[in-house]
Chains A and B, each alone.
Chain A
């Protein structure tokens, strides 16, 4: 097990990338009698960028919830920085989470400040009053995702889709996580905003932050990620993008042949077309 002293301090650069950020051993999960995931074993090293992908119902979101400790496997075990996900209090301080924008309800005048401070408040004690220093941390987080400080007092609902995603990213980063989990970060976001988010996340690599993306379309990430995990109720393939994105693996996951095109840099891009991921 990784000892506490082995952790790099948040935001401090480190070469110690051999520490396993997440390990999963023979994990099985069922909703009632329905088997969602079986025999899921993998290791993600500290500082790695990993995309988790697969068709609808393949278990992507369930795996995310298992890593967060929201769900517990019926068999096997997941460890985050050496801690079992059953020790939620410990792992919560290590993980920053960015939810799907579609799951958010902003039909009331919640401000950017409120959104960011909710994340910090949850970590520092939800019933404790907000301190000026906490607010400074929040503003720094907003600046770190390339947004102006003026946005701090704007209504969240009035921002563009890309700006909203960056605010949610700032909320996740404000707690200085060791691991960042992003659930469909590019849904409803235009391509320039996608690129901005990707540039920001790429900067985290220098700080040794481990990043997991749950995406139905892996293409926007292909040039940035180290590994892809292809799911279909189990791990179909896990490794470098060129190892995973093969005709055989894609047929195994999606049940149909998906054309692959190669970009100038030599990356294989699956053309999902009407295959819904």
Chain B
């Protein structure tokens, strides 16, 4: 394959799907990633993406017993459950609650997988992910959920920002802080699930959080955080695809490596700038 012309490579359906996947991942990294940083709930991304494995495993198990259902729906339900638990816990115990949900979900995932050994690979594929293995069905679901997230973020942008900046003040100014908190955490959890098929549960954290964390260091205003996060995730994804194509390595791993490297350089840049 490496001796194919670039134009020929770029028209291959699996490549087009991978490129579309990267664009959708970059949009999620911009919206959900930035709010993850603002709301200071990075651990939720790791917790929700791993909890999603248990949901996927359960739905595969149900399929085996004659109740067919899309495993991604199960993944979404479990991720949202983790978000709700995180929102329900007192603020100072949020990370503990996410950690316990994470551990419980992984226990369930391993339990379900042990009951369906012949289908275990389907679940483990969500742990690793592969941009080149995205199907049209995956892309349709990713597009729908990304569009929904974008609309919710645009509509409730000020509310999400207010509760992230000053939760107590937001309540005093009449906002239903609890409701917006549940909505925001669910949006972040759903975005984490959307990245599963592309980069896998292990690397979701890198692709969703690192671009926004890097842009948060570099940006001089909120709009730039969203713009830079999108660009960092997009470029990391495209470079990941290009390198993986030539060297036959995981595109998600290369993209995540780049995004996390940008974060460390952004820390250095901020230090040199004297902020």
Contact = CB atoms under 8 A, between A and B. Distances in A.
* A and B assemble together: yes
Interface of A: 68, 70, 88-89, 92, 95, 97, 99-100, 103-111, 114-115, 117-119, 121-123, 126-127, 153, 155, 168, 171, 181
A97 B159 contact: no
Contacts of A95: 172
Contacts of A92: 173-174
A99 B155 contact: no
Contacts of A111: 221-222
A109 B222 contact: yes
B93 interface: no
A106 B216 CA distance: 11
B170 interface: yes
B168 A122 contact: no
Contacts of B224: 109
Nearest to A171: B169
Contact of A122 (B162, B167, B221): B162
A118 B162 CA distance: 6
Contacts of A121: 158, 162
Contact of B161 (A89, A110, A168): A110
A122 B220 contact: no
B104 to A, nearest CB: 26
A114 B175 contact: no
A31 to B, nearest CB: 12
A118 B165 contact: yes
Contacts of A114: 161, 165, 222
A221 to B, nearest CB: 21
B171 interface: yes
B172 A99 contact: yes
Contact of A115 (B165, B172, B219, B220): B165
B90 to A, nearest CB: 12
Contact of B173 (A97, A100, A103, A127): A97
A88 B175 CA distance: 11
A105 B40 contact: yes
Interface in B131-172: 155-156, 158-159, 161-162, 164-172
Contacts of B168: 99-100, 103
A124 B225 CA distance: 26
B164 A89 contact: no
Nearest to A88: B174
Nearest to A98: B169
**Which of the listed residues A107, A109, A153 has the most CB atoms from chain B within 10 Å of its own CB?**
A109
A203 B78 CA distance: 54
Nearest to B172: A97
A95 B171 CA distance: 12
B164 A105 contact: yes
19 contacts: A70-B171, A89-B174, A92-B174, A95-B172, A99-B168, A99-B172, A100-B168, A106-B165, A108-B216, A109-B221, A109-B222, A109-B225, A111-B221, A118-B162, A118-B170, A119-B169, A119-B173, A126-B158, A126-B159
Contact of A70 (B155, B158, B172, B222): B172
Given A68-B172, A92-B174, A109 B165 contact: no
A126 B225 contact: no
